[in-house]
Chains A and B, each alone.
Chain A
Amino acid sequence: DIQMTQSPSSLSASIGDRVTITCRAGQTLSNYLNWYQQKPGKAPKLLIYGASSLQTGVPSRFSGSGSGTHFTLTISSLQTEDFATYYCQQSYSVPRTFGQGTKVEIK
Chain B
Amino acid sequence: QVQLQESGPGLVKPSETLSLTCDVSDDSISSYYWSWVRQPAEKGLEWIGRVYSTGIINYNPSLKSRVTMSIDTSKNQVSLKLSSVTAADTAVYYCAREIVTAGRAFDYWGQGALVTVSS
For residues 13 through 37 of chain B, which have their beta carbon under 8 Å from a beta carbon of chain A? 35
| Min distance, Cβ B72 to any Cβ of chain A, angstroms | 22
- For A95, what are the chain B residues with a Cβ–Cβ distance below 8 Å? 47, 49, 58-62
Chain B, 99-116, contact with A by CB distance < 8 Å: what is the 0/1 string? 100111111011110000
A36 B102 Cβ-Cβ under 8 A: no
Chain B, 29-53, contact with A by CB distance < 8 Å: what is the 0/1 string? 0000001000000001111011000
**Interface assignment of A34: CB less than 8 Å from any CB of chain B:** yes
What range describes how many residues of A lie at the interface? 20 to 34
For residues 67 through 119 of chain B, which have their beta carbon under 8 Å from a beta carbon of chain A? 94, 96, 98-99, 102-107, 109-112
Assembled-state Cα–Cα distance A18/B60 (Å) = 36
A87 B44 Cβ-Cβ under 8 A: yes
What range describes how many residues of B lie at the interface? 20 to 34
B109 A44 Cβ-Cβ under 8 A: yes
B102 A98 Cβ-Cβ under 8 A: no
Which of these, B50, B102, B111, contacts A53 with CB under 8 Å? B102
**Interface assignment of A74: CB less than 8 Å from any CB of chain B:** no
**Interface assignment of A31: CB less than 8 Å from any CB of chain B:** yes
Assembled-state Cα–Cα distance A74/B111 (Å) = 26
Q: Which A residue's beta carbon lies closest to that of B45? A: A98
| Min distance, Cβ A43 to any Cβ of chain B, angstroms | 4
A101 B102 Cβ-Cβ under 8 A: no
**Interface assignment of A63: CB less than 8 Å from any CB of chain B:** no
- For A34, what are the chain B residues with a Cβ–Cβ distance below 8 Å? 103-106
| Min distance, Cβ A97 to any Cβ of chain B, angstroms | 7
Assembled-state Cα–Cα distance A53/B100 (Å) = 15
- With A1-B61, A43-B94, A96-B35 in contact, is A55–B47 under 8 Å at CB? no
B44 A101 Cβ-Cβ under 8 A: yes
Pairs across A and B, CB under 8 Å, 21 listed: A32-B104, A33-B103, A34-B103, A42-B111, A43-B96, A43-B111, A44-B106, A44-B109, A49-B103, A49-B104, A49-B105, A50-B105, A53-B102, A55-B105, A55-B107, A89-B105, A95-B49, A95-B58, A95-B59, A95-B62, A97-B47
